[in-house]
Amino acid sequence: MKRSDDGFERVARWLEIPLDPHQRALLVQYQGWLGTEAVDAGGIGPHEVDRLLDRHILDSLAYLKGCPVEATTLLDVGGGVGLPSIPIAIALPRLEVTMVDRSEKRTRLARRALRILGLTNVTVATSDVDAVSGRFDVVTFRASLRIEDAARVTVDRTEPNGVGLFGVSRRPETPTVPKAPAGVTFSLTSEGHGVLDSPFWLLRMQCT
């Protein structure tokens, strides 16, 4: 399994945020947990082990390129075993992160990871997103909903002028996205050049 190391200095420059030695160690520890316990429990596929760093850890951190600097609360929809919730929470400990997923198996594993890592700024809920109360500064989606549905959730679950962040694709070609519905504008950017193995296409959904 490819492991992360002091190459996180390049990642910190890419994200334009500091990653201290403790944060880097937590990211490496989480990567190791994903490649062992999470795989053994069926929370992540065994074929993913060789690309955990690029396609899961760094892929999750790429969402921070669209996260407003003033954000203090984040809702992760369909976060599974903690992606992108846990890497985001490690990189930005000031954020209060709520992760929701309908699978009891996956949320149980996510809570296990949080206990191992000692993270206290993440709350995990086993439910549908429509059952979540409150509003958040940012909502993230990682292959959990259709873009149109994610836009609706963004409008329904964010504060005024809130932001939804949707990881669309890791393919080289520019993806096609639908027309933005009323109440939100779409902005598609390609992130991670020189850091990721392939572009991370991030769709930023800004409430208007």
Give the strands of the sheet with 96-101, arranged side by side: 122-126, 96-101, 73-77, 136-141, 158-169, 200-207, 184-191
pLDDT digits (tens, 9 = 90+) for 91-122: 999 999 999 999 999 999 999 999 999 999 99
pLDDT digits (tens, 9 = 90+) for 140-155: 999 889 999 999 999 9
Is residue 1 over pLDDT 60? Answer: no
Confidence grade of residue 202 (pLDDT, cut at 50, 70, 90): very high
Radius of gyration of the chain (CA): 16
pTM score, two decimals? 0.95
Is residue 198 over pLDDT 70? Answer: yes
User: pLDDT value at position 186?
Assistant: 98
Q: Name the DSSP letter for residue 53.
A: I
pLDDT digits (tens, 9 = 90+) for 176-186: 999 999 999 99
pLDDT digits (tens, 9 = 90+) for 7-55: 688 899 999 999 999 999 999 999 999 999 999 999 999 999 999 999 9
CATH architecture of 62-207: 3-Layer(aba) Sandwich (3.40)
Please compute the mean of the pLDDT values over residues 73-96 and round it to a whole number.
Answer: 97
Q: How far apart are the first and last CA of the chain?
A: 43
User: pLDDT value at position 7?
Assistant: 67
If you search the block for the tokens 């949080």, which residue do you land on? 114
